[in-house]
């Protein structure tokens, strides 16, 4: 599989050298990650996404088209004819880690102690442990034990 930058022509990057900025250019709007979240949770059809997110339909049309262009969703016309299915590509499925990180941060910081929320569980029903960046030896890393090399 050829690995190419999925930049639909005409698109320009906010900060061409920064992977964080590129990711945000591709999926960093108000709705894209929620659409991807729902795709991961089984949504396939246009109306699935519309009902789960509550997004305006013209915007949904546009976001689905952009996500397809950008190689994150694949649009397949169902054999039955008119129905369209939007399924995650490999790049889309790989956003799982980003979604999990966002989910876990939200659980820790965006809920009052008494509030309940949905939970991500493994096949035996246990919640996933918290993601943690580490160095090559498995030692936990954070903001002040890492740095960004801006050259090369």
- The residues of the shown chain that bind DNA, judged by CB under 7 A, are 29-31, 45-48, 55-59, 61-62, 64, 80-85
3-state secondary structure of 144: helix
H or E element in which residue 5 lies: none
Among the listed ranges 43-51, 58-66, 78-86, 121-129, the one in contact with its own copies (CB under 8 A) is 121-129
Task: Provide, rounded to whole angstroms, the least separation between the CB of residue 83 and its own copies.
Answer: 22
> Which of DNA, its own copies, none does 82 bind, CB closer than 5 to 8 A by kind?
DNA
What does 12 bind: its own copies, DNA, none (CB cut-off 5 to 8 Å by kind)?
Answer: none
- What are the φ and ψ backbone dihedral angles of 120, each rounded to 5 degrees? -95, 120
Q: Which stretch binds its own copies (CB under 8 A): 43-51, 61-69, 75-83, 134-142?
A: 134-142
CA dihedral of residues 115, 32, 50, 102 (deg, nearest 10) = -20
Helices (H), ranges, 29-117: 32-40, 46-53, 57-69, 90-93, 96-109
Contact of residue 91 among its own copies, DNA, none (CB under 5-8 Å per partner type): its own copies
Least distance in angstroms from the C-beta of 80 to DNA: 4
CA distance 54 to 95: 22
* Nearest-angstrom CA–CA distance, 118 and 115: 10
Out of 44, 53, 69, 85, name the contact with its own copies by CB under 8 A: 53
12 binds its own copies (CB under 8 A): no
């Amino acid at each position: 599989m050829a690995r190419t930058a999925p930049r639909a022509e005409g698109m320009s990057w906010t900060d061409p050298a920064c992977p964080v900025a590129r990711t945000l250019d591709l999926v960093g709007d108000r709705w894209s990650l929620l659409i991807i979240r729902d795709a991961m949770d089984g949504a396939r059809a246009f109306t699935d996404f519309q009902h789960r997110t509550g997004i305006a339909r013209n915007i949904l049309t546009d976001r689905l088209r952009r996500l397809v262009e950008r190689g994150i969703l694949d649009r397949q016309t169902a054999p039955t004819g008119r129905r369209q299915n939007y399924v995650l590509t490999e790049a889309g499925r790989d956003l799982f880690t980003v979604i999990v990180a966002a989910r876990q941060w939200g659980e820790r910081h965006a809920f009052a102690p008494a509030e309940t929320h949905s939970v991500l569980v493994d096949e035996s029903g246990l919640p996933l442990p918290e993601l943690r960046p580490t160095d090559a030896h498995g030692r936990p890393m954070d903001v002040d034990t890492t740095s960004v090399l801006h050259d090369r």
